[in-house]
Amino acid sequence: MSDSMHIVCPHCQSINRVPANKLAEKPNCGPCKMMAPQFEQAATLLISCAILEESA
């Protein structure tokens, strides 16, 4: 039996079949999963830049 669901990737809007036990993790498709750490890094950089500008 397969407990999988169809989840829309938040990054590229493509529909992925995600096993139910993976739903707790942020489900991404393969390419986006590989890119995710870089996205998070970029977001962190943007946030720290914004904070720097605010305090300047």
Binding site for Zn ion (CB under 5 A): 9, 11-12, 29, 32
Nearer to Zn ion, 9 or 18 (CB): 9
Residue 44's alpha-carbon distances to 40, 47, 53, in angstroms, are: 6, 5, 14
Nearer to Zn ion, 22 or 32 (CB): 32
* Strands of the chain, DSSP E: 4-8, 15-19
Nearer to Zn ion, 25 or 54 (CB): 25
DSSP letter assigned to residue 14: -
- Shortest approach of Zn ion to residue 48 CB, angstroms? 26
